[in-house]
Structure 1
Amino acid sequence: MNIRKKFLANSLFFVIAMWLSSRLLIAITMLLITPLFPTPSNGVSATFSWDVFYAWDSVWYEKIMTAGYDYSSNFNEMHTVAFFPLFPLLSRILMFVGFTPKVAGILVNNSAFFAALLILFYWVQELYGTSTARWATATLAWCPYSLYGTVIYTEGLFLLCTISALRAFDKKQYIWAGFWGALSTATRLPGVALIPAFLFVSWKERRGIKAYIASLTVGLGISLYSLYCQIQFGDALAFIHVQKAWRGDATGFAWQGWWKMLMQITVGLTNWESGYIKDPLHPLLFSIIIVSGYLLWRFRLHLGMIKFRYGLYFLWLLLWILTGDEIVKIALVFGGIYLLWFSRAKIPLVTVIYGFSSFALILNTGITPSAERYAYGIISLSMAFGLLLARYPRWGYPIMYFFAILMFTFSIRFARDLWVA
């Protein structure tokens, strides 16, 4: 027991344990367990190879690593210029020393994700203490969408850059804030959410000219990429224009998409597509779960907190089984907005404004796919959730178990080249 306490008391070992255990679950599931299941008709067979970490956007990043960028004025065609350069550039550097594109991408993403966990832990520990730091780190590591911190995607690198930028700005280390901020906008477009966050805090807290310069320096990453696009393709906004191939003409808040998702949760997909209650079982079960949840809450004092908690755990599992990914997406996006508002006075102001700016971008793309994955990349939520779970740790453990279940299922789906987020 003493050895276990000493191990957990060591901050570095705790971060390593969170990173390694969650990555092992993903790797074992994708490499060893998934190949045991039959291949679905709409997926691909999973084998013990690097290919299980390679699907969807991974294909585009490999093209950039091996052949560079391509683009044409036909905005209805997909082109690699839609993907920002820092991740393929770092992967390309590893390729120079002998790694294959797939291995290089996996190494960059995983090492960056580990560094992001480490920086988050020490930052939260400085602000709130060790308990909150552990929960925030566990949340970031075990959230099922951290799968994208292991496969050939940019999540790990983006989290590293944004956490480092926010921490540096919060500590008034403006050179580092500008540096990491510029790297974030060279990694993914949502990195621009740092700019209004930095500018607002600079004005609100009267930080001076250095803070404003750091705020504007964040845009250097996307500006240099825009300059490259102008020189190479004659279109400085090529990475924006080409998004039409993915999103069509959709802009603004995706009312129809979110409404459809809400209807799928409450009445079921079959009933939604039919336009009438063709399958009464889904809405009946949904109503029973909701009413049961209300009764549990209403009589929680009579039941006792233990029965109340286990009852809610069971009902949530039933709700997830009934509704699927839609309930998780709604909870992460709109629940995340509420959590951010609820925690606005507890977490640093710069992370609050960054969080709301990021959600503004997510909710104004005109589409709903990948919204939950982008929400996961908002580090403000991990900090807020860490504070919440540090206060109510008995809720934290079953949440982490549920995260592990989702991570397991998401890993299987990604390894089969099926859509996750």
Structure 2
Amino acid sequence: MLLIAPLFPSSSTGVAATFGWDVFHAWDSVWYEKIVTSGYDFSSDVKEIHTVAFFPLFPLLSRIIMFIGLPFKVAGILVNNSAFLAALLILYFWVQELYDTSTARWATATLAWCPYSLYGTVIYTEGLFLLCTTSALRAFNKKQYIWAAFWGALSTATRLPGVALIPAFLFVSWKERRGIKAYIATLTVGLGISLYSLYCQIKFGDALAFIHAQKAWRGDATGFAWEGWWKMLMQITVGFTNWKSGYIKDPLYPLLFLIIIGSGCLLWRFRLHLGMSKFRYGLYFLWLLLWSLTGDELFKIALVFGGIYLLWLSRDKIPIVTVVYGFSSFALILNTGITASAERYAYGIVSLSIAFGLLLARYPRWGYPIMYFFGILMFTFSIRFARDLWVA
């Protein structure tokens, strides 16, 4: 981001990357800077973006760091990176306690090398959110209710999806008959969002201002974004040009798509004759071809809906609190009325890293090429973000 991105010309947004802190500062970073420097704003006119849509813990911590004389961009980078590093360490030791060192390494590698881990290093809240939710889940699983309440409250003060901890804690408290302490910890999780709601009521006269402000992004859309996901699926299968035209204007795209899918089916059919080594390399090659053809939409659908499927397959192998938290988080993600940033929010569900770590620990020969592929995506995503181009 500092050395390679500046070699590219200005992006379509007119931004050219330079060697400096600006490469880590784009999109949501701008709104967090406004909060830190100018405070929150909101009005009943939600056609414009208002900073009240962004939760307070990250800008508050950034402001505290700034007291020692650092500019916002440095403070924001320090907060997110430090939190992300701590999240990786906590995840490693937690998974090691639950399973073994191999699984812990793969789970941590998944969280670190998934291309959306980019958002754990730039001025965003992913690192902080992962730290708080991972710590809360680990503490609740170990029946450390004071810490579960503490980290849970910080989670709901960081981002709205933190409320997914509440149904997870509530269900496990009921199912395992954990007693009154577990229920008190569950209720305390909502303290972060409750205090922010109280602030919004006092300052703007609207306790749900942070929700109403979301209309600037999604309008009046609610529920499952059927149209958005269908559009994405059609772009993958027939191509953007054909989907936009309404007919097969570019026959080459669907033909190539069918050839790749057909080759994959044949590869599977004759896998025993080819041997596992040739079968794996064949699948690696076909996946790269398919990704080159379809672009980010393929990885987005694979992460979101593949993540749901993986979570279901792993439901008996990972702690029940992480399973319920994962499904509750997906329920929130898929009912926003839009598809934008769904893959980034899915990455923030630590349950998936644990489940994927278990899978890769069992099949490590699949794990290494997956990490190489993650590295390719991370490189391209980083360059795009540094040039102020949309990633997720």
Match among 132, 152, 176 for residue 123 of structure 2: 152
Letter in structure 2 aligned against 1:201: V
Note if 1:93 corresponds to 2:64: yes
Q: Distance in 1 between matches of 2:317 and 2:269?
A: 29
Identity in percent: 88
| Residue-by-residue CA offset, 1:347-401 (whole Å, 9 max, x unaligned) | 0000000000000000000000100000000000000000000000000000000
Q: Distance in 1 between matches of 2:280 and 2:310?
A: 20
- The Cα of 1:42 is off from its aligned counterpart by 3.2
Q: Distance in 1 between matches of 2:305 and 2:138?
A: 25
Q: Distance in 2 between matches of 1:104 and 1:305?
A: 49
Match among 9, 26, 30 for residue 55 of structure 1: 26
Letter in structure 1 aligned against 2:232: M
Instruction: Give unpaired runs (5+ residues) of structure 2.
Output: none
Alignment correspondent of 1:38: 9
Letter in structure 2 aligned against 1:304: G
- The Cα of 1:77 is off from its aligned counterpart by 1.7
Correspondence 1:174-185 to 2 at 5 A: 174-185=145-156
- The Cα of 1:43 is off from its aligned counterpart by 4.4
Q: Distance in 2 between matches of 1:142 and 1:39?
A: 27
Letter in structure 2 aligned against 1:229: C
Alignment correspondent of 1:25: none
- The Cα of 1:41 is off from its aligned counterpart by 3.0
CA contact (8 A) 1:181 1:191 kept: yes
CA contact (8 A) 2:84 2:128 kept: yes
Letter in structure 1 aligned against 2:121: T
Alignment correspondent of 1:218: 189
Letter in structure 2 aligned against 1:120: L
Match among 79, 82, 107 for residue 53 of structure 2: 82
**Secondary structure at the counterpart of residue 186 of structure 1:** helix
Alignment correspondent of 1:359: 330
Alignment correspondent of 1:113: 84
- The Cα of 1:139 is off from its aligned counterpart by 0.3
Alignment correspondent of 2:243: 272
CA contact (8 A) 2:166 2:190 kept: yes
Alignment correspondent of 2:139: 168
Letter in structure 1 aligned against 2:70: F
Q: Distance in 2 between matches of 1:133 and 1:360?
A: 27
Letter in structure 2 aligned against 1:179: F
Correspondence 1:18-417 to 2 at 5 A: 30-417=1-388
TM-score, normalisation: structure 2: 0.99
Q: Distance in 2 between matches of 1:400 and 1:41?
A: 30
Q: Distance in 2 between matches of 1:312 and 1:386?
A: 21
CA contact (8 A) 1:267 1:282 kept: yes
CA contact (8 A) 1:43 1:418 kept: no
RMSD: 0.6
Letter in structure 1 aligned against 2:321: V
Q: Distance in 2 between matches of 1:43 and 1:131?
A: 45
Q: Distance in 2 between matches of 1:187 and 1:129?
A: 31
CA contact (8 A) 2:11 2:388 kept: no
- The Cα of 1:39 is off from its aligned counterpart by 2.0
Q: Distance in 1 between matches of 2:328 and 2:99?
A: 24
| Residue-by-residue CA offset, 1:30-54 (whole Å, 9 max, x unaligned) | 1000111222333410000000000
